[in-house]
Amino acid sequence: MSLPVLLSIACLSYFACADEAESLKPKNYYGKIAQRMANTLTQYHVLQSPLDDAISRKAWTNLVTFYDYDHSVFLQEDLECLAAHETTLDDEVRSGDVSFGYDVHRLFCRRLKERIDFATNLLATASFSFDGTNEVYELKRENAPWPRTKEEAEARWTLKMKNEMLVQLISRELDAEEKTNKLLSATNTVVSAQKDKKRKNGVQDESAKKEPDADDELEEEITDPRQNLITRYRQYFIALTEPEPETILQNFLSAITHAYDPHSDYMSPLSKEDFDMDMNLTLCGVGAVLSMDNGALKIVEIMPGGPMDMDGRIKEGDKIVGVQNEPGKMENILWKPMNKTIRKIRGKKGTKVTLEIVPRKDTSGVTKKRIELTRDEIKLDDAAATGHVERVSLGGVTNKVGYVYLPGFYGTMDKEPGSDGYRSSAEDVAKYIAEFNASGIQGLVLDLRGDGGGSLREAVMLSALFVPSGPVVLIRDNRVIQPLPIPPGNPVAFDGPVVVLTDRASASASEIVAAHLRDTGRAIVLGDSRTHGKGTVQTVMGLGPEKYGSLKLTTARFYRINGDSTQVKGVEADIHLPSILDSLDIGEDKLPNALPFTRILPANYRMAWNLPDYVPVLVTNSA
């Protein structure tokens, strides 16, 4: 597709989205949601702080920076205009007025359209030179001032485009070089193998030749970097200006909750649905992982056992360009917001959906086929615990070591254990440990790297697999300090040595387990210098009818059994084995409005083992 044609199509999308954004208004009952949220927030948040001018200032900053985090869209005059609400948001929310959130959204859409129009026009008409220039593009701009004029904003976007184009050009050269090296290596291997075969048998083994698959020969079309950038900006515009009233409400009300702490959120009904899906590791749909690709939804992965996999007619790399639900007509979803389209594809178990598919082999997009699928429950096993046994040899001795990776503390909240559809991360780990014990393992590695937490209940149950009794964690709300103990008569699943792997992305429930096993002497913690540092507990509270959404509110802090909070400080590793995350500017202390570190009296607990005593020897031997 030519650049002018692509630019014309892009402009049509910009106008459509911008026009919809201008007409967006809050629904009648949104004011009541805001009032109920304000009352719940001040009554149950762990800080017990009033919704006042100080909170309003933080909320105002949260909302503005949420939309324009790198200070490249709004102008200084926009901020001066919006500043009239800097200390009035508390009063507006209490009175049920949520209009400011929509005002900010509409202003952002107008300004972003100006920036995208400028960028795409420049990409279509200008030629960029990278020779002999001494230009500097500032990547991190969150602390930079907003541009004062339109011309200043456009100058920054020009540098932004040149930087992104240069990255593409360099990346393409590196990719071409890598492909050439791989081709030469493969050719040399084949030639060498054929020479060896001829030398041994005097003939060439024809059966060794493999007929190439047509799909293997399909290569991605190499496009002009300018076309790539126009497409990227177009998708960026659609993603950020998605005209969904409840999404705008969520952005606004979450700016209020984030003024109290970074983990309290207002969740719209759709967000609550996603939250439940993550906890239950299930959804109802067709079983595909999707990404946006030139306006269509590209099928990146087909999930084993799902409706799409069982049907067999749709392949990875195919693109979805239309969706039809019963009853209804086929809807063109090209350049529509991805989240909206995905929700059209999902639905209740047993219902049907028809997808209009462009096969991956048809780069023109002309060939289309319609395929009807019946939705079914999809188990998100990629986010579940996994494990295996490794044989480790050291000093002439070979031991069997079990390895379990837990990406999250998932757990079904609305079903009883043993019932259909019930999921438990602790139970899944226990099943692996039972298999490991049957194979005779001598040690266990529990990998919590990248595990951002989840269910507090699952954290207690997981610790109980290794420690027979006693408190796991101390919970302090606005009234009391309460220990969460291991149930009496608990059968320990594994009583051998344990190593817990952590990194800067291990948070919340991960930190509870790592700290408990460390404090009871049951495990050695190995990894980054410390974990993320999230030491707060969130409770999900409904705000009324389902359409009102829910509030995920920080209602308590948790403490290690030694009395220290994990808040901000995290859990330090016994043995420092740094990853790249250790050098990045991440962690609870980097989040705005994070609660401070505190300490309470330690719990009454007993040591389960003395594994940390071996740390000095292990450090010496591993040096």
Checking if the pLDDT of 191 tops 60, the result is no
Checking if the pLDDT of 369 tops 90, the result is yes
Domains located in the chain, CATH noted: 3-130+141-149+224-260 (no CATH), 282-379 (2.30.42.10), 381-622 (3.90.226.10)
Q: pLDDT at position 206, please? A: 38
pLDDT tens digit sequence for 194-205: 555 444 444 333
Q: pLDDT at position 209, please? A: 41
pLDDT tens digit sequence for 306-356: 999 999 999 999 999 999 998 889 999 888 888 888 889 999 999 999 999
Three-state secondary-structure class, residue 539:
strand
Min mean pLDDT across 123-127, 515-519, 581-585 is at: 123-127
DSSP output for 462-477: HHTTT--SSEEEEEE-
The angle formed by the CA atoms of residues 106, 110 and 115, to the nearest 5 degrees, is: 140
Closest CA to 530 of 494, 561, 564: 564
Higher pLDDT, 559 or 2: 559
pLDDT tens digit sequence for 412-456: 887 778 787 789 999 999 999 999 999 999 999 999 999 999 999
The CB density around residue 171, as the number of other CB atoms within 10 Å, is 11
Per-residue pLDDT, averaged over 490-494, amounts to 95
Checking if the pLDDT of 3 tops 80, the result is no
Checking if the pLDDT of 212 tops 50, the result is no
- What whole-number distance in Å separates Cα of residue 580 and Cα of residue 449? 12
Higher pLDDT, 33 or 132: 33
- What whole-number distance in Å separates Cα of residue 226 and Cα of residue 319? 23
Measured in Å, how far apart are the chain's first and last C-alpha atoms? 58
Q: Indicate the pLDDT class of residue 610, thresholds 50, 70 and 90.
A: very high
The CB density around residue 604, as the number of other CB atoms within 10 Å, is 9
DSSP character for 532? -
Tokens of 23: 């007409």
Closest CA to 56 of 259, 289, 215, 223: 259
Q: How high does pLDDT run on average in the chain?
A: 88
Taking the CA atoms of 166, 169, 173 and 175 in sequence, report the sign of the dihedral they define.
Answer: positive
- Stretch (H or E) spanning 554: strand 550-559
- What whole-number distance in Å separates Cα of residue 356 and Cα of residue 339? 18
How do the residues of the chain divide into helix, strand and coil, expressed in percent and rounded to 5?
45, 20, 40
Listed in sequence order, the DSSP H helices in 385-542 are: 425-439, 456-463, 509-519
Three-state secondary-structure class, residue 143:
coil
**With a threshold of 0.85, does the pTM exceed it?**
no
Per-residue pLDDT, averaged over 515-542, amounts to 97
Per-residue pLDDT, averaged over 166-190, amounts to 72
Q: pLDDT at position 20, please? A: 60
Residue with token string 């960026």: 236
Checking if the pLDDT of 99 tops 90, the result is yes
DSSP character for 331? E
- What whole-number distance in Å separates Cα of residue 40 and Cα of residue 551? 8
Three-state secondary-structure class, residue 232:
helix
Q: pLDDT at position 293, please? A: 84
Cα 262 to Cα 38, 87, 336, 532, 590, distances in angstroms: 16, 20, 30, 13, 10
Q: Indicate the pLDDT class of residue 10, thresholds 50, 70 and 90.
A: very low
Three-state secondary-structure class, residue 304:
coil
- What whole-number distance in Å separates Cα of residue 408 and Cα of residue 281? 10
pLDDT tens digit sequence for 579-597: 999 999 899 999 999 999 9
Q: pLDDT at position 219, please? A: 41
Percentage, residues of the chain above pLDDT 90: 65
Q: pLDDT at position 605, please? A: 96
Q: pLDDT at position 131, please? A: 75
Three-state secondary-structure class, residue 165:
helix
- What whole-number distance in Å separates Cα of residue 221 and Cα of residue 218? 9
